[in-house]
A and B are shown apart, each in its own frame.
Chain A
Amino acid sequence: MHGYSAFSILRNGLTGQRHWRRAWRSPDPKSAYDVVIVGGGGHGLATAFYLAENHGVRNVAVLEKGYIGGGNVGRNTTIVRSNYRLDGNTQFYEFSMKLWEGLSRALNFNVMFSQRGFLLIANSPGELDTFGYRANVMKLNGIDAELLDREEVRRMVPYLNFSEKALYPVHGALLQGRAGTARHDAVAWGYARAADAYGVDIIQGCEVTGFVRQGERIVGVETTRGRIGAGKVGLAVAGHTSVLAQKAGLELPIESHILQAFVTEPIKPLVHHVVAYGADHFYVSQSDKGGLVFGGGLDGYNSYAQRGNLGVVREVAEASIAMMPCISRLRILRHWGGVMDMTPDGSPIICPTPIDGLYLNGGWCYGGFKATPASGWCFAHMLAKGEVHPLTAAYRLDRFRTGRTIDEAGAGPFTWLQ
């Protein structure tokens, strides 16, 4: 791999930027691979990278129906945190956080990981109590967590609505100092470039239309660029898991929903952390360009449309100015939608399927971006060794049969309420 360094920037700067090489190849698909990963988003690319890096499996293809960075990896609000309460989630997301902390170095690509701190605001004394419980769970698992009272929150984020008449009064907050944001496109590009350097074929514009079977076993995929044989097939297709799984004859506890995100016109530095509150669903950070990047809840009905409805735009705007009245006159520049795999408990599925040769990585709900490194790491482990990684042991498909659901929100088996 042609490494990126201060020296390479200087050299290319002095030679008119004409000698940069393409970050990854655009190969034609071979007739067969040891592993075919369907979906060239963050998770699929990370899986390919860790297959090569950790397990020496390099005869790998990543098939992407669109282009790299065009799906959910480029549509999220870039937040990375590991402040989860329930066993299974807590340890998995903290492992991901640790990978984030070394990711730019591991990939030789600056993913602009910024540990600016994640503040989850408590709007009632009861909520603050549950945050205390969550902070204890985090600390027992070796994760940094701090419970702040109202005055400490005010010193950190004085622009919130601290008025006595606030619709959502501030009673305190749960702070995770190591949490923050990362540049989401850079994550896709960095993993793609690093995987490509190991010889992984990244094939864009290649949609999987069906599966090739030999007896009960899946031995390849039919694509818009022909049949491709595979020792193992891994699905990492974000919002379209159900569509692909149906082609394999697999029924899943997943529904697809739209989640919207928004960015305002750029302003001077105002929001120095990631700030969120749950009484009305809202989370915001400020990008390096100065725009406020924020989001809220789901559109609320099944959708594959990749665009959202205006009712939610209004709700999220109301939630934003209830918490931050000072931004009421900011204009929203853009809003967009991504298709989420929503599971009935709000937690993901990384699991072998009942079909031989087919492995599933999906159901990421809201949590996909922050999970990217650990998801790739554990899915690669499963594909290389044929066994479940201990950190994803709880993310089994059969947990819905056995009652071992991981319902962080406590919302019941309704995908659109998670």
Chain B
Amino acid sequence: MLRIECPCCGPRDHDEFRYGGDASVTRPAYDDPDFEAWYRYVFVRENPAGLHREYWQHVVGCRQWLVVERDTRSHTIASIRFARETRA
């Protein structure tokens, strides 16, 4: 069981959260005609054995989307931030 330290609600079990996948991919602009950019956004994933930036939503808590940095080999969590704060 992962324990995710929600910045709003404190430490919670991961099954209070919904997984949202790789947070390192960037969605192209709606009017971006570049096929390759869309292909990479939808399908291609780095899938690292190591630190992975990923989205989690605290669905049964504050409903905030978080970006969690987690090691996929040990599940050690390195950092947790609100997703809205990580937007460029």
Q: Please give the distance in Å from A76's CB to the nearest CB on chain B.
A: 21
**Most chain B CB within a 10 A radius of its CB, from A251, A256, A304:** A304
Contact of A303 among B15, B42, B72 (CB under 8 A): B72
Give the distance to chain A from B21, nearest Cβ to Cβ, in Å: 7
* A72 CB, nearest partner CB in chain B, Å: 16
B: number of interface residues (CB 8 Å): 25
Query: Which of A23-31, A80-88, A112-120, A305-313 is near enough to bind chain B?
Result: A305-313
Judge if A278 is at the interface, Cβ distance under 8 Å: no
CB distance from A312 to the nearest CB of B (A): 9
- Does B1 lie within 8 Å of A242, measured CB to CB? no
| Across-interface contacts of A310 in B (CB, < 8 A) | 1
Question: How far, in angstroms, from A125 to B86 measured CA to CA in the complex?
Answer: 46
A357: shortest Cβ distance to chain B, in Å?
22
Q: Known A301-B54, A401-B39; judge A240-B49 contact (CB<8 A).
A: yes
Closest to A245 in B: B47
Residues from chain B with a CB closer than 8 A to the CB of A309 are 1-2, 14
Contact with B along A234-247 (1 / 0, CB 8 A): 00000010110010
**B43 close to chain A: CB less than 8 A:** yes
In A291-347, the 8 Å CB interface with B consists of 300-305, 309-311, 344
A243 and B49: CB pair below 8 A? yes
Known: A254-B45, A256-B72. A302 touches B1 (CB 8 A): no
Check A305–B72 contact: CB distance below 8 A.
yes
**Per a CB cutoff under 8 Å, which of B35, B46, B73 touches A251?**
B46
The answer to whether B75 touches A303 (Cβ under 8 A) is yes
The smallest C-beta distance from B16 to any residue of chain A, in angstroms, reads 10
**A254-B47, A309-B14 known; A400-B73 Cβ under 8 A:** no
Give A269-282 as 1s and 0s: 1 = Cβ < 8 Å from B's Cβ atoms. Answer: 00000000000000
By a CB distance below 8 angstroms, the chain A residues around B46 are 242, 246, 251
The 5 closest A-B pairs by CB, nearest first: A242-B47, A253-B43, A311-B15, A304-B49, A400-B43
28 CB < 8 A contacts A-B: A242-B45, A242-B46, A242-B49, A253-B43, A255-B21, A255-B22, A255-B45, A255-B47, A256-B49, A300-B19, A301-B19, A301-B70, A302-B47, A302-B52, A302-B72, A303-B75, A304-B49, A304-B72, A304-B73, A305-B75, A309-B2, A311-B13, A311-B15, A344-B43, A401-B35, A413-B42, A413-B43, A414-B21
Give A residues with C-beta under 8 Å from B: 240, 242-243, 246, 251-256, 300-305, 309-311, 344, 400-401, 413-416
Apart from the given pairs A251-B46, A416-B21, 6 other A-B contacts in the complex at a CB distance below 8 Å: A240-B49, A242-B47, A242-B49, A302-B54, A311-B14, A416-B19
